[in-house]
């Protein structure tokens, strides 16, 4: 008989995020590589030509420290770069400049949905690799991405489900976007994540752990969930068939095959000793004073959670509306501008919020001022009674006797002229269809 098992997934996450930067991490080449002609943003440093020396991008270092601070990390102000050695053609130097034992930030935590805290092991800075493009018969390499500043955020294995991972990734994405430090678009490869997954299996008083698998190439929120859920099921099945437990040498790297919705073995997972880390001799160690760190702290703008709460309080809107309005910087700025203009017209923030959220007006086609004018017009229209309108129509007809005569003679196009006259009198508050109908009744 099959023994009863209690399964708890243990999931940790490595997240790589490309930082928004004018230049690359260790040279002055343009960092933009999306949709750029291959190998046009390169130089002796990022192509690793002999004798070329790297120099570190200060803004990228500051950005990483800021992210570390917002993730409640210790930022000690002492750090250094290291060489991570491995051979692969997307890495022109034969090593990646990364950080080993002295990351810019460590020991933080991040709150995800339902108030759960995820411990952050470290936040460090490194350089991105080139892109391999596999065509029929050849593999091509584009080094435009080689050397682009790449931030890595490593969590402790505190996640127990794919949903928790998803919530965390959304949190990180929102955070770096609101800080203006990265776009973190997963579809564009600006944010990539590698979950490592294993299971704790409790069975008749015994506890077993399955071997850890690290999953590569998961590049969308949907794939992350699918890959983790598949891996959980696969490991349980595998354990029950083989009873192989976690142990030295059986960590593995797996890929995600989106077409068949399965993970597949790639190669044995390297231990850090395989990378022969050593300090980067061409870049001096980094030191930061407390005053410098404080000044970075002061640069941190309002964070997403605080912003959401402020919106709910200040504008008396519900949490869902606040979430939608603060998620995207463009929408948020637009809303706040429109609310400010609207306040002088007696338009409530809630009305502005509704118009934006329900897409009753197209904010991409209107300035905030025009947006408020449209809301105002719509309000005025419904405010004008039919009685008031009829009074104005009578007035207009009385002043345009010759036009009325013309109409009676069959010149029906004067109707448009009369509708326009009424609109002018009402300063645009009248509804033209209603005006036309009432005019026709009078003229008959
Ligand atoms: Zn370069
Ligand atoms: Mn990395």
Going residue by residue through the chain (444 aa), what tens digit of pLDDT does each one get? 677 999 999 999 999 999 999 999 999 999 999 999 999 999 999 999 999 999 999 999 999 999 999 999 999 889 999 999 998 899 999 999 999 999 999 999 999 988 899 999 999 999 999 999 988 889 999 999 999 999 999 999 999 999 999 999 999 998 998 888 999 999 889 999 999 999 999 999 999 999 999 998 788 888 999 999 999 999 999 999 999 999 877 888 999 998 999 999 987 656 667 899 999 999 999 999 999 999 999 888 778 888 888 999 999 999 889 988 988 778 888 999 999 988 887 888 998 998 888 877 788 888 998 888 888 887 776 667 788 888 999 999 999 988 888 888 888 888 888 888 887 887 767 777 788 888 888 888
Residues listed for the chain: 444
Q: Which ligand is nearest to the CA of 17?
A: 2
Q: Find tokens 């440093």 and name the residue.
A: 45
CA 16 to ligand 2 center in whole angstroms: 7
CA 346 to ligand 2 center in whole angstroms: 53
Which three-class secondary structure state does DSSP give residue 119? strand
**DSSP codes of every residue in 211-277:** PPEEEE-B-SHHHHHHHHHHHHHHHHHHHHHH-----TT--EEEEEETTTTEEEEEEEPPPGGGGT-
CA 27 to ligand 1 center in whole angstroms: 5
CA 62 to ligand 2 center in whole angstroms: 18
CA 358 to ligand 2 center in whole angstroms: 41
Q: Which ligand is nearest to the CA of 192?
A: 2
Q: Which of 211, 271, 270 minimizes the C-alpha distance to 246?
A: 211
Q: Which residues, at least 6 apart from 421, have a Cβ–Cβ distance to it below 8 Å?
A: 396, 400
CA 85 to ligand 2 center in whole angstroms: 12
Please report the pLDDT score of residue 413 as a whole number: 82
Q: Are 143 and 42 in contact (CB under 8 A)?
A: yes
Please report the pLDDT score of residue 410 as a whole number: 85
CA 82 to ligand 2 center in whole angstroms: 12
Q: Which ligand is nearest to the CA of 193?
A: 2
CA 128 to ligand 2 center in whole angstroms: 8
Query: Model pTM greater than 0.85?
Result: no
Q: Which of 272, 331, 303, 330 minimizes the C-alpha distance to 99?
A: 272
Q: Which ligand is nearest to the CA of 46?
A: 1
Q: Which residues pair with 209 in a beta bridge?
A: 200
Q: Which residues, at least 6 apart from 323, have a Cβ–Cβ distance to it below 8 Å?
A: 308
CA 29 to ligand 1 center in whole angstroms: 4
Please report the pLDDT score of residue 409 as a whole number: 87
The secondary structure of residue 54, as a DSSP letter, is -
- Residue 123 CA to residue 16 CA, distance in Å, equals 10
Q: Which residues pair with 267 in a beta bridge?
A: 253
């Amino acid at each position: 008989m099959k023994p009863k098992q209690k399964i708890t997934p243990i999931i940790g996450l490595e997240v790589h995020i490309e930082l928004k930067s004018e230049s690359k991490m260790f040279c002055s080449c343009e960092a933009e590589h999306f949709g750029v002609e291959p190998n046009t943003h390169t130089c002796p440093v990022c192509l690793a030509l002999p004798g070329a020396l790297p120099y570190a991008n200060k803004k990228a270092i500051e950005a990483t420290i800021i992210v570390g601070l917002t993730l409640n990390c210790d930022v000690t102000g002492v750090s250094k770069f290291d060489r991570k050695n491995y051979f692969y053609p997307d890495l022109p130097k034969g090593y990646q400049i990364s950080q080993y034992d002295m990351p810019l930030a460590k020991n933080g935590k991040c709150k995800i949905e339902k108030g759960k805290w995820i411990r952050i092991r470290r936040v460090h800075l490194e350089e991105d690799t080139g892109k391999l493009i596999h065509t029929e018969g050849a593999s091509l390499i584009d080094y435009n991405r080689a050397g682009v500043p790449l931030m890595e955020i490593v969590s402790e294995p505190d996640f127990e489900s794919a949903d928790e991972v998803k919530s965390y990734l959304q949190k990180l994405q929102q955070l770096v976007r609101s800080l203006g430090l990265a776009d973190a678009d997963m579809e564009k490869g600006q944010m990539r994540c590698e979950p490592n997954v294993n299971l704790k299996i409790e069975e008749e008083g015994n506890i077993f752990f399955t071997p850890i698998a690290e999953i590569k190439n998961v590049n969308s929120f949907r794939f992350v969930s699918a890959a983790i859920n598949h891996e959980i099921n696969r490991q349980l099945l595998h354990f029950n068939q083989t009873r192989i437990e976690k142990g030295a040498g059986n960590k593995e790297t797996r890929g995600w095959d989106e077409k068949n919705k399965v993970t597949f073995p790639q190669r044995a997972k390297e231990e850090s000793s395989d990378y022969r880390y050593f300090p980067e001799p061409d870049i001096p160690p980094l030191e930061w004073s407390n005053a410098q760190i404080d000044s970075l702290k002061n640069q941190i703008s309002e964070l997403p959670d605080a912003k959401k709460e402020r919106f709910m309080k200040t504008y008396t809107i519900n949490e869902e509306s606040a979430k939608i309005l603060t998620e995207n910087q463009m929408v948020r700025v637009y809303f706040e501008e429109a609310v400010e203009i609207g306040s002088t017209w007696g338009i409530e923030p809630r009305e502005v919020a509704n118009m934006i959220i329900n897409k009753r007006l197209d904010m991409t086609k209107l300035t905030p001022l025009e947006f408020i004018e449209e809301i105002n017009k719509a309000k005025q229209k419904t405010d004008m009674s039919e009685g008031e309108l009829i009074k104005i129509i009578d007035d207009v007809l009385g002043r345009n006797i010759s036009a009325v005569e013309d109409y009676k003679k069959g010149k029906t196009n004067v109707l448009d002229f009369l509708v326009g006259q009424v609109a002018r009198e009402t300063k645009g508050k009248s509804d033209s269809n209603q005006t036309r109908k009432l005019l026709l009744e009078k003229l008959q």
